[in-house]
Structure 1
Amino acid sequence: MITITNFEHPQLTIKNWQVVTNESWCVLGKNGSGKQYLDQLLTGDLSPESVASLSLPSADKVGMVSFESQQAVYEHELKMDCSDYTHANDIGTKAKDFLPADKHNDALITELGLSHRLESGYRQLSTGEGRKLLMLQAIFNGVELLVCDNPFDSLDEASCIALSSALENIAKSGINVLLMLNNRQDIPSWCNKVAFIERGQFEVLGKLENDETKRQLDALLAPVPDDVSWPTNMQELCDYPHPYLVKLNKGKVQYQGVSVFEDLDVSIKPLQHTLITGGNGSGKSTLMQLITGDCPQCYSNDLHVLGFKRGSGESIWELKKDMGIVSAELHRQYRVNGDLLSVVLSGFYDSIGLYQQAEQDKIAIAQQWLNKIGMLAHQHSSFRSLSYGEQRLALIARALVKSPYLLILDEPTQGLDELNRHRVLNFLEHLAEQKHSTMLLVSHRKDEHLPIFQQHIKL
């Protein structure tokens, strides 16, 4: 299936790697470790400067499912959107049209929980649903190697179990499954072997259950002391003039007659950090979009945000100037060209892209945050050239840069390796100590249910 010996490229080195038929592998690596170059090698987009032996499946027999491949489909769907011309809502390509017509009743669609979504447009799918759809497309197209980049991100616990079971069955059917993961907690028990990639150096570790493999992973993923000082714009929230940051009475959202939630009461007081959980499709992201104003139905609800009654003549900019937002939707929308520093600076202006000259004090604060997330050396690198996890770290810095009253974090650690996940969770605990921002966190991961959260809303 795969044989690579002494592969040399400026971005990737592999001494010896063999994958035989019916073998499942996990490649673990930190953000920016070079996993994307391994992806490019497997799809035929990366050629060696030198190699002793190289045997790979043909490119048309490799299915690549990653955040980058999802983003490419999403951007294509946006380009094809005819809503502005037809004055009707264009849902784009339906999920069923990604699949062969003779497979629409295949049991695997049901096993992956997509049977009820086949008539939905791709842009209407959640991140996790879109990922599973592209997996199905690859499988039904007859791939021999299925490469899945962090497939369990953004899925609830039940969906993770179901997806893991489906991938195990796919592996048993004769398709080689290769998982690219950031967190060792996500490695399924059925995965045969583990490799690690760090700074482009690929190393085979062995079987996960081996003590030596575990010891090597512990050493490779040992926490790095954080001795970088905190940015200087952190302040306390003093004498906030309103009793609630968010107040929703009998909240209701529905689309095409189908209710997302109804009779939902939410109240969040200053510094009442709130955790929001629930299964996929329960309405967590919709609730966040209702609060941020990105869901138009905010105007038909009895909703107060940051002292404003929604629909009373306030502008979206009056609200967002006191908000910091991290979400998969924002990440999908952040498609403009620009360097990393500009992305972080755009948080001061609530814009996607930077369209004005930033003041020197704001530049200094943005650089402090880049230093805090370990990316100051990349401040002039193109945002879109970074890995997905590195982009997500930058968007977290963008949300934090203005020290907002209300910090809305919709699965902020999606795409982050375990070291950066713990770094972000430490950020949240530090913010709680600073008593400035009030945090709303949507998370599926139980290890992110921190003691700082005084309120837990289950949808």
Structure 2
Amino acid sequence: METYCSIILNNVSVQQAGHLLLDHISFTLNAGEHLAIFGASGSGKSLLAQVLKGSLLHTGSIEYKRSGRPAAPFVAYIPSVHPLENYVAAVKSGATLTETLLHKGPAADVTNWLEKFQLTPRAHAPITRLSYGELKKMQLIDHLLGQPDILILDRIFTGLDVKSRTVLHKVINLLATEGVTIILIADRHELPASITHFAEMAGGTVINYAPVEKLGFMKSVLPREPETPLPSLKKAYHIGPLIGMKQVSIRSGNTLLLNNINWQVNNGECWLIKGHNGAGKSTLLRLINGDHPQAYAQQISLFGRKRGSGESVWDIKRRIGFISPELQHLFDRDISVFEVIGSGFFDTIGLFEKLDEAQALKVKEWLSFFSLQDKARHLMTTLSGGERRLVLLARALIKDPLMLALDGPCQGLDDSQSAMVVRLLERIHAETGMTLLFISHYEDEVPSCVKHIIELENGHPTLYKKIARPAFATSKKYTLTHRVL
């Protein structure tokens, strides 16, 4: 590996369709320094990353120097999108994790990185059977096999469990000692020890650039939210259990994804579904949402009816508001924000029916509630990752569901948006009694109304528990920086 590069930005601006998206950004990251980029959702962080990668036209200049001389470093950028978006051919061919990575590097290097990321047991699994967190690790290994000089990571910790985040911190810190310049888009609470500087962005420009030690003297103050009335939601009431599972086991080939699940969720209960990446959490939610074909061969009852007793998948979906990391990936690139939210009335991936007047009004109410009314006709792909997640939450709530099944609802949100969503879910439960199933790898993202836990390990339930928890009045996630050595 060669010596570190320095990066000099001078009045970098990006303008599209008459809109100034990045506004005269200037700073210097010296050789051996590593940068974290902070900012609210939509502040321009990912646009700046694309400029540094060289994939977005800009004015102004970016210089790379090594030992004082002009350089042309290899820049690797991992965007904050669903990992499978860049592996269409591998998905179609049914390629395994190892087969996919061997296209980018020698077998010895692939084996080495799989071991470092603790993915060796999954080496021969088809990538379509990897969890979201495992796919994120694969995506990172893919880029590391190219031996980049500069590595830009956009929300790389999103979707990773505690153990995986710790491993990733160690890998990032190791790379930073081996000549790789690290540029990390993340929140302040998840900062590797190797980061030396931070850039805070707002409105498309850098408003603060300083050594990372100065973070401890900054106050992370959340905006005070007015108690805006919720758009009208019906009381979520159902007689009898909403979910009943007896000895449920799900296989994929020779892999046991779920093993002997016995679980009942009663009306109004709020559950946290815990487990490491690949433990079976998302498979469990897919069974509930009617998206898994093996559900019909299992002893599963939903809303008082056994699966396969005559109900359609649409009968199930209309009672469940559902969010997952994969859902955002399914929508067509040409669909508008208004259409995505409106599709929630019909549980379709796209809007194929005209909304009546009452439905259109309700979409507008949720757009206003999330301060997205000015982006109603924007394409979904033009929104920031955080804004897209809020759109999906509005889509899940638009039909007055009996239950919310949320797989990482705060993924992609900045700290203030995450806090807002947590408080929103607490309000919804308090005002409607809506049942909640919640997956998160951050305890501080879990609403205080959650009083039950089911924990999975390699598909097997290791814990069913009712808990007593205080409300998260002062959440450590939203205060000072947490660094993992």
- TM score, norm. by length of structure 2: 0.86
Cα deviation, 1:167-219, whole Å, max 9, x if unaligned, reads 110111111111101x2111223311111111111244322332xx344452x
Residue aligned with 1:353, SS: coil
Q: How many residues align?
A: 441
Partner of 2:391: 394
Cα 1:204/1:107, change in 2 over 3 Å: farther
Q: CA deviation at 1:149?
A: 0.9
What is the 5 A alignment of 1:121-270?
A: 121-181=126-186, 183-210=187-214, 213-216=215-218, 218=220, 221-232=221-232, 234-238=233-237, 240-241=238-239, 243-270=240-267
Q: CA deviation at 1:74?
A: 4.5
Q: CA deviation at 1:60?
A: 7.2
How far apart are the structure 2 equivalents of 1:214 and 1:260? 43
Partner of 2:77: 64
Residue aligned with 2:113, SS: helix
Is 2:323–2:393's contact at 8 Å kept on the other side of the alignment?
A: yes
Bigger drift between 56-65 and 346-355 goes to 56-65
Cα 1:165/1:451, change in 2 over 3 Å: same
Q: CA deviation at 1:259?
A: 1.4
Residue aligned with 1:206, SS: strand
Is 2:245–2:264's contact at 8 Å kept on the other side of the alignment?
A: yes
The answer to whether residue 38 in structure 2 is matched with residue 28 in structure 1 is: yes
Bigger drift between 346-355 and 325-334 goes to 325-334
The answer to whether residue 56 in structure 2 is matched with residue 16 in structure 1 is: no
Residue aligned with 1:120, SS: coil
**Alpha-carbon RMSD:** 2.2
Is 1:403–1:437's contact at 8 Å kept on the other side of the alignment?
A: no
Partner of 2:119: 114
The answer to whether residue 432 in structure 2 is matched with residue 432 in structure 1 is: no
Percent sequence identity is 26
Q: CA deviation at 1:420?
A: 0.7
How far apart are the structure 1 equivalents of 2:299 and 2:229? 42
Residue aligned with 1:209, SS: helix
> By percentage of residues, which structure has more strand?
2
> By percentage of residues, which structure has more helix?
1
Q: CA deviation at 1:244?
A: 0.5
Cα 1:228/1:170, change in 2 over 3 Å: same
Residue aligned with 2:81, SS: helix
Residue aligned with 1:413, SS: coil
Q: CA deviation at 1:92?
A: 7.2
Task: Tell me which of 416, 419, 433 is aligned to 2:416.
Answer: 419
Is 1:407–1:439's contact at 8 Å kept on the other side of the alignment?
A: yes
Bigger drift between 338-347 and 131-140 goes to 131-140
How far apart are the structure 2 equivalents of 1:99 and 1:119? 16
How far apart are the structure 1 equivalents of 2:11 and 2:274? 47
Letter in 2 for 1:387: S
Is 2:44–2:204's contact at 8 Å kept on the other side of the alignment?
A: yes
Letter in 1 for 2:311: E
Is 2:82–2:326's contact at 8 Å kept on the other side of the alignment?
A: no
What residue ranges of structure 1 are gaps of 5+ in the alignment? 83-89
How far apart are the structure 2 equivalents of 1:48 and 1:336? 24
How far apart are the structure 2 equivalents of 1:425 and 1:74? 33
Cα deviation, 1:76-117, whole Å, max 9, x if unaligned, reads 556xx26xxxxxxx4578433343134355433211122233
Is 1:4–1:14's contact at 8 Å kept on the other side of the alignment?
A: no
How far apart are the structure 2 equivalents of 1:25 and 1:49? 22
Is 1:8–1:48's contact at 8 Å kept on the other side of the alignment?
A: yes
Letter in 2 for 1:228: T
How far apart are the structure 1 equivalents of 2:207 and 2:88? 34
Letter in 1 for 2:289: T
Letter in 2 for 1:63: A
Is 1:247–1:267's contact at 8 Å kept on the other side of the alignment?
A: yes
Cα deviation, 1:353-374, whole Å, max 9, x if unaligned, reads 1001001111111111111112
How far apart are the structure 1 equivalents of 2:397 and 2:427? 12
Is 1:66–1:131's contact at 8 Å kept on the other side of the alignment?
A: no
Q: CA deviation at 1:346?
A: 0.4
How far apart are the structure 1 equivalents of 2:26 and 2:236? 56
Q: CA deviation at 1:336?
A: 4.7
Is 2:274–2:453's contact at 8 Å kept on the other side of the alignment?
A: yes
How far apart are the structure 1 equivalents of 2:259 and 2:96? 28
Partner of 1:353: 350
How far apart are the structure 1 equivalents of 2:131 and 2:30? 34
Is 1:43–1:59's contact at 8 Å kept on the other side of the alignment?
A: no
Cα 1:252/1:271, change in 2 over 3 Å: same
Q: CA deviation at 1:324?
A: 0.7
